[in-house]
Structure 1
């Protein structure tokens, strides 16, 4: 999951041997259900298409590497508590896989998946963070990122009708399910070295579409109920941050990160369960251009004037999933207001701040995925 940014789908017909090593594929096509095919609005818009072209060019030239995606354009202290600079996140890897999936770049999908599996895979989960300078792989995962990568591999199986991708999906799904969703209780992370499991689940980690595919209806219904019960009973129609299993209560309700709540809303929309009040609130903020990064969980008042392209990108994804093209288009234009258009700078096409050169992969990749969903191939 995002670390440090202003905070979920395919591949080639044959996997390279490195993607297959270390496990035996099952021949069954019924062990784990495939995820639902990703929805695309397939809209025509020359302005948005041109913006996407500029954004892709920036990403390919400056952030995307063969084995991962830089977290930020600027390199920074790699010993910090959260990832930044030229470190890789499983979050960014999953989002780039989603882009390759939406745009049906099968060969590129295969190559990138093989590489990120080499750098991030820990035998039962993906490391959430990797430092390519010293090849340091951090021991914990982020369950939402594992589910996003799994969603992409599932889409590869659907789109290519390849047995190899289907078997890879089955194998990864079982590992992720057994590791991070043991006893139908999803947790935020597991330490691959110690086996220690988090005692919480962040609500935006609950990718309902993928959870239903790999865990069945019982798991899906229990986690849908967990999200719905975590809706704030206040003037702010968003969601609590997380659920604490030990305390049996929701936490993170006084200050709400709107991007996390918007991702939760996107997950709800993917199964047609997003509350109308949430949709109306998002539409109001997008129309006024006032979608702040943090809100008071009781009064609903914004706690900052800061905004992010990633927030508006998630609002656009919400609009696409509920078939509200006006919301989607308006939110995309809000996100693209952050796009740098300076042909004489390496940041041309990026979503970020030219003066400080702060450009986060999350904002850029979530916007790219939203554009892919809106425009189609």
Structure 2
């Protein structure tokens, strides 16, 4: 299974004229985005479609059309926690329990648009996000079922995705296979705290993984992509994905504070280019693509909140909402190109805007 963080996003390509300021308006709001997702990005069985167009071909994440991802479940659950919406949380939990979850805590990372499992793999990053959301909901609303399910998911992770004291990217049920590497953007300290507290990983495993995050090497100010479990080596990429970089920076900030070098890079991009692009050359630090991404800007908002940098958060917010359409057909949607959009370019802004509201940085 090939699965990159947050999926492959439909991004607006400035160089090819896809992003036209005149066709976008700031009048649509987060409620419009939620309505768009419910109306246009929800399958008949209640699962969230990855693409608006059913005929969208398979992407580099091995996702096509209106297939549904566990990643969408977790992001939506986090959104309902930000809005304190028990009803919507409960509805998505039922979809998780009915469609994605097996009795032992295994979660299918992908379903067909009809809700059928056609792959037998999970995804660590998605499982951790869902587990976290369920524990938070159980504490807030005193629902024992949420805690029970979270414990089942956490136990499965500890039993099947741990190699040499390190969590790995996925588990394949067909042959009990796990990879020999960990994508570093999956390493979330909050999740490690929970797994340790609930007894799903040992203190030794916790210390080892937190040490990986603490001692991450950097090349020219950028983080590595992955960690090799057997040899302990870090793999860097010549072209870095800003989504991965932002998640790693945010995760590190949870325990170890701000990476001022990375923050300075982001602010310099705003000053020099007025935007932050989707990918950069790791040596020259120049953009390698002409596009931006609402999902990337939403992750920048989350990083800025983590390090308490209001200036950076509002820069990202103002740019992000310029991708939100005010047209009648797609009102509230982000990055609609040729009648198509990706769920993460809509879910992540939906979530980050509520986080900004709860921080009292926007009204």
TM-score when normalising by structure 1: 0.81
Superposed CA offset, 1:296-319 (max 9, x none): 112212111211111111111111
Moved more, 165-174 or 103-112: 165-174
Which residue is equivalent to 1:54?
32
Does residue 169 (structure 1) correspond to residue 154 (structure 2)? The answer is no
Which residue is equivalent to 1:316?
301
What is the rounded CA distance, in whole Å, between the counterparts of 1:165 and 1:376 in structure 2? Answer: 24
Superposed CA offset, 1:313-361 (max 9, x none): 1111111112222221221111111111112x1x11100134x123111
Secondary structure class of the residue paired with 1:64: coil
Does residue 359 (structure 1) correspond to residue 319 (structure 2)? The answer is no
Secondary structure class of the residue paired with 1:137: coil
| Residues 310 and 367, structure 1, Cα contact 8 Å, conserved in 2 | yes
Describe the shift of the 1:264–1:228 C-alpha distance in structure 2 as closer, same or farther (beyond 3 A): same
TM-score when normalising by structure 2: 0.84
| Residues 160 and 171, structure 2, Cα contact 8 Å, conserved in 1 | yes
Describe the shift of the 1:120–1:247 C-alpha distance in structure 2 as closer, same or farther (beyond 3 A): same
Does residue 108 (structure 1) correspond to residue 88 (structure 2)? The answer is yes
Q: 1:69 aligns with which of 17, 32, 48?
A: 48
| Residues 49 and 65, structure 2, Cα contact 8 Å, conserved in 1 | yes
Describe the shift of the 1:302–1:97 C-alpha distance in structure 2 as closer, same or farther (beyond 3 A): same
| Residues 120 and 173, structure 2, Cα contact 8 Å, conserved in 1 | yes
| Residues 257 and 307, structure 2, Cα contact 8 Å, conserved in 1 | no
Describe the shift of the 1:79–1:262 C-alpha distance in structure 2 as closer, same or farther (beyond 3 A): closer
Unpaired runs of 5+ residues, structure 1, are 8-46
CA displacement at 1:229 relative to structure 2: 3.6
Which residue is equivalent to 1:225?
211
What is the rounded CA distance, in whole Å, between the counterparts of 2:296 and 2:7 in structure 1? Answer: 15
Which residue is equivalent to 1:144?
125
Moved more, 217-226 or 258-267: 217-226
Secondary structure class of the residue paired with 1:91: helix
CA displacement at 1:260 relative to structure 2: 1.0
Supply the RMSD in Å over aligned alpha carbons: 2.4
Describe the shift of the 1:205–1:134 C-alpha distance in structure 2 as closer, same or farther (beyond 3 A): closer
Superposed CA offset, 1:244-298 (max 9, x none): 2244322242111111111111212233434121122223334543311111112
Which residue is equivalent to 1:44?
none
Unpaired runs of 5+ residues, structure 2, are 12-24, 198-202
Secondary structure class of the residue paired with 2:153: helix
Describe the shift of the 1:286–1:365 C-alpha distance in structure 2 as closer, same or farther (beyond 3 A): farther
Describe the shift of the 1:134–1:114 C-alpha distance in structure 2 as closer, same or farther (beyond 3 A): closer
Which residue is equivalent to 2:324?
339
CA displacement at 1:97 relative to structure 2: 0.9
Q: How does 1:1-377 map to 2 (within 5 A)?
A: 1-5=5-9, 51-65=29-43, 66-76=45-55, 82-122=62-102, 123-133=104-114, 135-182=116-163, 184-215=165-196, 218-234=204-220, 237-286=221-270, 288-343=273-328, 345=329, 347-354=330-337, 356-376=338-358
Describe the shift of the 1:198–1:67 C-alpha distance in structure 2 as closer, same or farther (beyond 3 A): farther
Secondary structure class of the residue paired with 1:201: strand
| Residues 6 and 310, structure 1, Cα contact 8 Å, conserved in 2 | no
Describe the shift of the 1:181–1:338 C-alpha distance in structure 2 as closer, same or farther (beyond 3 A): same
| Residues 90 and 120, structure 1, Cα contact 8 Å, conserved in 2 | yes
